[in-house]
Amino acid sequence: MPEMPEEYVKRLPKSEELNAMTEQSLRAAFAGESQAAEKYVVFAAQAEEEDLPNIAKLFAAISFAETRHARNHWRVLGGIRKTADNLQTAFAGESFEIDEMYPAYAEIAKLQANKEASRSIRYALKAEMDHKRMYAEAREAALQGKDIADQPVSVCTICGHTVIGGLPDKCPVCAAAKEYYRTF
Ligand SMILES: [Fe+2]
Ligand SMILES: [Fe+2]
């Protein structure tokens, strides 16, 4: 790499300072990489359906690479803290989606009579309410230096309904059979 002129190097911010433009760049890059990662997961599933397993693998691997980029950007942004703080960040994000974002988006979808958008938004909004509660409870434990109980956490692969512990016979949000849940 060519040497940078001495004068220019002196003007650069110290590495621990994140100037506003760098922060904006990293936030945009974090958003873009996160979105690319999810798109590639979806594209991989589509390639599988088309019986193109090696293209599916390529999408899956590159999706993972994008998650590494997103993580690196987020780390430089100072976004990774102790778990109790991370749970607060997660709780705040879910709260915003429940209280402001999805209700507004739901109104727009209703106004425009887009049933598919309304359903997609309703699925997300319902799940965010559970996520918010789960994060709040986990934070209580983390603040006391404890982990939460060792229980299965299951997610409906159709709508994202999330449940801790036993599975319902069918999803209370989208009515999918319990076989559609993925358990962590
Ligand atoms: Fe959520
Ligand atoms: Fe569901």
Query: How large is the average pLDDT for residues 154-166?
Result: 97
**Predicted structure pTM score:** 0.85
Closest-approaching ligand to the CA atom of 161: 2
The CA distances from residue 28 to 21, 35, 72, 108, 127, in Å, are 11, 11, 13, 25, 26
* Mean pLDDT of the chain, nearest integer: 94
Q: Check if 20-76 and 149-184 are the same fold.
A: no
Closest-approaching ligand to the CA atom of 133: 1
What are the pLDDT digits (tens) for 88-115?
A: 999 999 999 999 999 999 999 999 999 9
Gap from CA of 62 to ligand 1 centroid (Å) = 24
Gap from CA of 112 to ligand 2 centroid (Å) = 24
Each residue of 89-111: b (16+ CB within 10 Å) or e?
ebbeebbebbeebbeebbeebee
Gap from CA of 156 to ligand 2 centroid (Å) = 5
Query: How large is the average pLDDT for residues 130-138?
Result: 98
Does the pLDDT at position 78 exceed 90? Answer: yes
Closest-approaching ligand to the CA atom of 119: 2
- Domain 20-76: give its CATH code: 1.20.1260.10
In 3-153, alpha helices (H): 6-11, 20-49, 53-76, 83-96, 102-111, 115-143
Closest-approaching ligand to the CA atom of 125: 1
Domain covering 149-184 assigned CATH 2.20.28.10 in the classification: yes
- Give the lowest-confidence range in 2-11, 56-65, 141-150: 2-11
Residue ranges of domains in the chain? 20-76, 82-147, 149-184
Gap from CA of 128 to ligand 2 centroid (Å) = 13
Does the pLDDT at position 166 exceed 80? Answer: yes
